[in-house]
Amino acid sequence: MPLFLEEHRQLLSFNYPGRGDLVEALESVAGFLEDKVMPMATKFDQHAAKIEETRKELLRQGVCQMPFPKELEGLGLPFGAYALAIELTGAADAGIALSIAIHNTAAEGILQFGSEGQKRKYVPDIVAGRKVASFALTEPTSGSDAKAMGTKAARDGEGFVLNGSKAFITNAGEADVYFVFAATPKGPSSFIVEGSNPGLSFGEDLPKLGMRGSRTSEVRFSDCRVPAESLVGEEGMGFEYAKKMLNGSRIVMGSLCVGIAQAAFEKSIEYARSRKAFGSAISEFQLIREKVADMKTGITAGRLLCLHAARVRESGADFGSEAAQAKVFSTEMSLRVCDSAIQVFGGYGYTTDDVHRHWRDARLLTIGEGTSEVLRMLIARRELARSL
Amino acid sequence: MTLTVWAYSESGQVASEVAAAAQSLAGTGKGDAVEVMVGAMSDAGPRLPNALVLRGMSASENTPESTAEAICRATSKGMPSVILVGSTRNGREVAARVAARLGTGCISDASKLTLEGESLIGERSAFAGKVTAKVVAPIPCVATVKVGTYPAAGKTTANSVSEMDVGGFSPKVKVLKTIRKDARSVNLNSAKIIVSAGRGVKKKEDLAIVESLAKSLGGAVGCSRPLSSDLGWLPEEHHIGLTGVTVKPELYLAVGISGQLQHIAGMKDSKVVAAINTDKDAPIFQAADYGIVGDLYQVIPAIEEIVRRRS
Amino acid sequence: MKIAVCIKHAVDESELKMDPGGSPMITGAAGKMGTFDKNAVEEAVRLKSSGGGDVTIFTVGPADARKSMKEGLAMGGDRGVLVTADPVRIDSLSVAGLLAKAVQRDGSFDLIICSEGSSDVYTGQVPPMLAELLGFAYFGYAKKLEVSGSRIRVERSLEESVEVVEAPLPAVVSVVSEINEPRYPTLIQIMQAAKKPLEEVPPSALGVETAPKVVVRSMSGQGSNRKKVMLDGTPEEAAAKLVDALRAEGVIPR
């Protein structure tokens, strides 16, 4: 299954005229994914193989370097091209795409809010894949309501002591660097905690519905001491930082879901053309054709919404609503497409990992990084608050 | 001009096949087929009633470079219509060099060679076996004959053996040493049954399961490229595929092989193909007569058990 | 050491489609760097990094071949020369003739590395023809190569033996795929490759007129006529069905 399609080429040339290098970069990412990642996808899904080695190779290729500045070992490429790279990765294997996307969200936080020293110390290592990063915001009793934060950071001489726990954390236990949110008396604040910190411990890898290649567990802090310089930005500003980080991340999660949908779609049309019923291929039937048309239209729409949000982000304007729209639409579209894929495959869809895993993978993303409900609140609030 | 077809191969078995190809070509064109030998008459020859022994270069210096030189020099005394060379690794070099030197066309790995007017036509496989191409070259020309496509011609009594002194030659390339490959492992061409292993085998030690089944079936062990090239679990001579050995056994049993085109190209002429793979969508099933979607670690011992019990 | 690598922008055989009449649709088919040509580039880049020197990549191909050339440059080639002729329309000897002229035009190369054959048509003729035309020593099917001073020593992988051979440079070598594991260029390398010199040279600039002798008259797809019978059940049941089927075929003893 080729990952880089004519529509990707078109979108790149329409949006970034004269940037043939972006096409070459994405073609090369696609080639790597087809050779090294796609063949592993069902193995990752069935826990028959671990993603670590493949993730390391993928990071070395430079996917995560794409949107970062060159002085921090990035490639200085547009965010939209990075989002498309995550889409391709999502089509190859959603779990690994989730893992590297969250990894990069942590680097993005350090880039945006960290000190010069923090940026130099962490961003190059993370984006070039020498270190794996994680982003720890959600707690067992606070998800969308991130202000109700139970993890506390108390002043302790020059540094801080963190206590509490974070739930559903991607890359937990595997990461070298954690971008952590904990409340000080001044409010939610963000910290960089090294994976080797003895005050860190991790829960069991959760038996997830999908995204099984990525490791997800609780991260616990018990008298976890960190030096003063691990505080990112200003104390009490953590919630603002989290919102900004999630905005960028939502575009990427939307793209990831477009990729999942694309993979399910390709398999569906191939099957529909080969499967015979009542003397002809089922692709000849109008009810199947309706599905094919709706799947394809949804994928194209989702891809455009994500790229649009990325373009607004690149322009420097506020893109919170566009990112939310891209994520709500693309994640829900992806679930519908993957559901249709199972329907097209019939009994084989329900019983074949390689078909139903796409639905199981996509299912996470109407929940993670902002539920559809919360994102709709955000979109509506913005529109209703607009002055007439 | 009468049609003359020369046949050459440095390998005894292949020389018999090339002789047969030359005879069939010469027969249809009412011409002469001539077996060409470099250095001395081989013990197994001649396989054609007409033989030409090129003397002057020592048989020990029988490298593709010197062979090509000898053949080119021999053509100066009378250009044959077609020069056929066995498509071994050395043979391909000889043919390409001769064609370059004489400025003629060269058809590679040909089967079903025929003549049409002043042209030679050969069929060859391309695009990793997806396509059969009919290739045409004007006479005089060179062609390499695909190994295993012509029945071997036997030894015959020579009607005429001519000898030609082509003079000495000092080749650029010097052979320092020749290391024979393990004899046990190079019998895939003659094996009736081949059990072939791929990436589905998780550890090198697990190859024992495949070897054990091959043994109880009286067959040989082959493998796909990753096992010999990337992992080095088996010597390269076991590698079946486009860049490895081409085989056509009675039974080809592919175990844990996904069935990349390059692999299929090496086994597609097998009489019966069976495949065992955990992935129901593995392309090997499209190239197999019988397929089992299952774990080789369970299926292979089960097959062996049945074979043993019933025999 | 001045190293040349000759590659082919080959038809991607896995993407090759057949028309309704069963003929392959070569025109417009997707292209990629020949699978084994990557081993040739890899070997050149390794030799460069261990012994110094520079690597020039040559190809004869259509304008699309820039894609494969850029990949070669991203893998570590220093510059590229693309002789603009469509190899579908010319034969191996013509390709070798163009490459020989292009190599000679660019000065004195010590070593020319090719692969054992292109992954699309796999005739393997070009490397020995090139050696013959240039008057260089030639080693086919190298699984290991070592340059020391002005000599090269090669292990050739033959059907029944490995031959250790030696010759003075300059030489042409064709490598087998097991010689190395080609690298994937990283995105940084791909970005950098865009800035490396890639020259396009028409055959006329080399003073070569191509008059192919070997032509392809027709091509047809090799349809698979396998039975494709899937045997189900427990491992034991499936195994029993298979043994029965193979006995019925007469390919294993009863």
Interchain CB distance below 8 Å, A24 and C15: no
Lowest mean pLDDT among B184-193, B293-302, C125-134, C213-222: B184-193
Determine how β-strand B119-126 pairs with β-strand B105-116: antiparallel
Cβ A190 vs Cβ A179: under 8 Å: yes
Q: How high is the pLDDT of residue A388?
A: 66
What band does A144 get if pLDDT is binned at 50, 70 and 90?
Answer: low
Residue C129: how many other CB atoms lie within 10 Å: 30
Give me the phi and psi of B26, to 5 degrees please.
-65, -35
Q: Which residue in the block uniquely carries the two structure tokens 């972006």?
A: A22
Query: Three-state DSSP class for A169?
Result: strand
Residue of C nearest to B303 (CA): C239
pLDDT band at B186 (very low <50, low <70, confident <90, very high): low
Lowest mean pLDDT among A6-10, A374-378, B302-306: B302-306
Among candidate residues B8, B178, B196, the one with its CA nearest the CA of residue C160: B178
CB atoms within 10 A of CB B76: 10
Residue-wise pLDDT for B75-89, tens only, equals 998 999 999 999 999
Yes or no, beta carbons of C190 and A28 under 8 Å apart: yes
Exposed e or buried b per residue across B273-290, where buried means at least 16 C-beta atoms within 10 angstroms of its C-beta: bbbbbbbeebbbbebbbb
What mean pLDDT is predicted for residues A86-91?
98
What separation in angstroms does the CA of B187 have from each of B146, B220, B237, B245, C87? 18, 7, 9, 10, 37
Q: Which domains does chain A have, with CATH numbers?
A: 6-127 (1.10.540.10), 133-234 (2.40.110.10), 239-385 (1.20.140.10)
CB atoms within 10 A of CB A161: 18
Are B307 and C243 an interchain contact pair (Cβ–Cβ within 8 Å)?
A: yes
**Contacting subunits of B (3+ beta carbon pairs below 8 A):** A, C
Q: What is the pLDDT, as a whole number, of residue B33?
A: 93
B11 — pLDDT class (breaks 50, 70, 90) = confident
CA-derived radius of gyration, chain C: 22
pLDDT of A300 > 80? The answer is: yes
Q: Do C125 and B109 touch (CB under 8 A)?
A: no
Q: Could you state, in order of their start, the residue ranges of all structural domains in chain C? A: 2-206, 224-254
In tens, the pLDDT along A216-265 reads: 999 999 999 999 999 999 999 999 999 999 999 999 999 999 999 999 99
List, for residues B237-248, the tens digit of each pLDDT value: 899 988 888 888
CA distance C29 to chain A (A): 14
User: What are the structural domains, with CATH classification, of chain B?
Assistant: 4-165 (3.40.50.620), 183-310 (3.40.50.1220)
Residues of chain B with Cβ-Cβ distance to A42 below 8 Å are 279
How many Å apart are CA A282 and CA A271, to the nearest integer?
A: 9
- State pTM to two decimals: 0.84
Asked if the C-beta of A266 comes within 8 angstroms of chain B's C-beta atoms, the answer is no
Smallest Cα–Cα separation from C178: which of C236, C107, C116? C116
Which residues on chain C are in Cβ contact (under 8 Å) with A62? 186-188
Question: Please, which residues 186-245 of chain C have a Cβ atom closer than 8 Å to chain A?
Answer: 186-188, 190-191, 194
**Which residue in B114, B70, B101, B148 sits closest to C125, CA to CA?**
B101
pLDDT at site C100: 97
- B55 part of contact set with chain C, CB < 8 Å: no
Q: How many CB pairs under 8 A join A and C?
A: 39
Give the whole-angstrom CA distance, residue A326 versus residue A330: 6
| The dihedral sign for the CA sequence A110, A112, A113, A116 | positive
Q: Are B166 and B73 spatial neighbours (Cβ–Cβ below 8 Å)? A: yes
Average model confidence (pLDDT) for chain A? 95
Q: What's the CA gap between A22 and A9, in Å, rounded?
A: 9
Distance (Å, whole) CA C10 – CA C8: 5
The distance in angstroms from the start CA to the end CA of chain C is: 63
Note whether C191 contacts A29, CB cutoff 8 Å. Answer: no
SS3 C40: helix
Contact B281 A354 (CB under 8 A): yes
Query: Which CATH architecture fits C2-206?
Result: 3-Layer(aba) Sandwich (3.40)
User: How confident is the model over C161-172, as a mean pLDDT?
Assistant: 95
A369 catalytic? Reply is yes
Give the contacts of C149 (CB within 8 A, at least 6 positions apart).
none
Nearest to B252 by CA among B240, B261, B237, B235: B240
Catalytic residue among A194, A332, A369, A383: A369
Give the whole-angstrom CA distance, residue C128 versus residue B171.
14
ipTM: 0.91
Percent of chain A with pLDDT over 70: 98
What band does B68 get if pLDDT is binned at 50, 70 and 90?
very high
| Calpha distance C250→C228 (Å, rounded) | 18
